[in-house]
Structure 1
Amino acid sequence: MNTDPVERFLAALSPEQREAVDARPCEEQERLAAAWERELESDDELDTLDELSPAAAEAEAARRVLERGSDR
């Protein structure tokens, strides 16, 4: 299993999203990946989804982070 947060975040994205994020500066990719990890850790709804489908939970967290466009 890959442990690099940026690579894991990119893998959770759709091909179109991945291409767009991959074109961003490394610092922004790292910021988004950190926000994605926080989203996965903090949202109880994603915990439930993760039990059913880890990939779906990761994709949903990635979608939320990109939609929000911030690292809240």
Structure 2
Amino acid sequence: MPADAIGRFLAALDPDHREAVSGRPREEQERLAAAWERELESDDELDTLDELSPPAAEAEAARRVLAREP
């Protein structure tokens, strides 16, 4: 399992999005990973999902972060 925030964020993405985000500049990847971590920390609904399935909570947070992207 990746130890850094970007690696964990990329691992939470589905394969198509992972490839697309991997091709973005490092600064943008860092920004997205930080937004992903904030989403995981701040959403109570994800806390409940995290208790049942941490990978599912991480994937949902990643999906939400990308959905907010222009």
TM-score (structure 1 length as normaliser)? 0.93
| Identical-residue share of aligned pairs (%) | 79
Q: Which residue of 2 aligns with 1:65?
A: 65
Give 5+ residue unaligned stretches, structure 1. none
Q: Which residue of 1 aligns with 2:46?
A: 46
Question: Runs (4+) of structure 1 moved beyond 3 Å?
Answer: none
2 CA distance for matches of 1:3 and 1:18? Answer: 16
TM-score (structure 2 length as normaliser)? 0.96
Give 5+ residue unaligned stretches, structure 2. none
Aligned to 2:39, what secondary structure does the other structure show?
helix
CA-based RMSD: 1.1
Q: CA deviation at 1:69?
A: 1.3
Letter in 2 for 1:59: A
Letter in 2 for 1:31: R
Q: CA deviation at 1:2?
A: 3.0
1 CA distance for matches of 2:3 and 2:22? Answer: 18
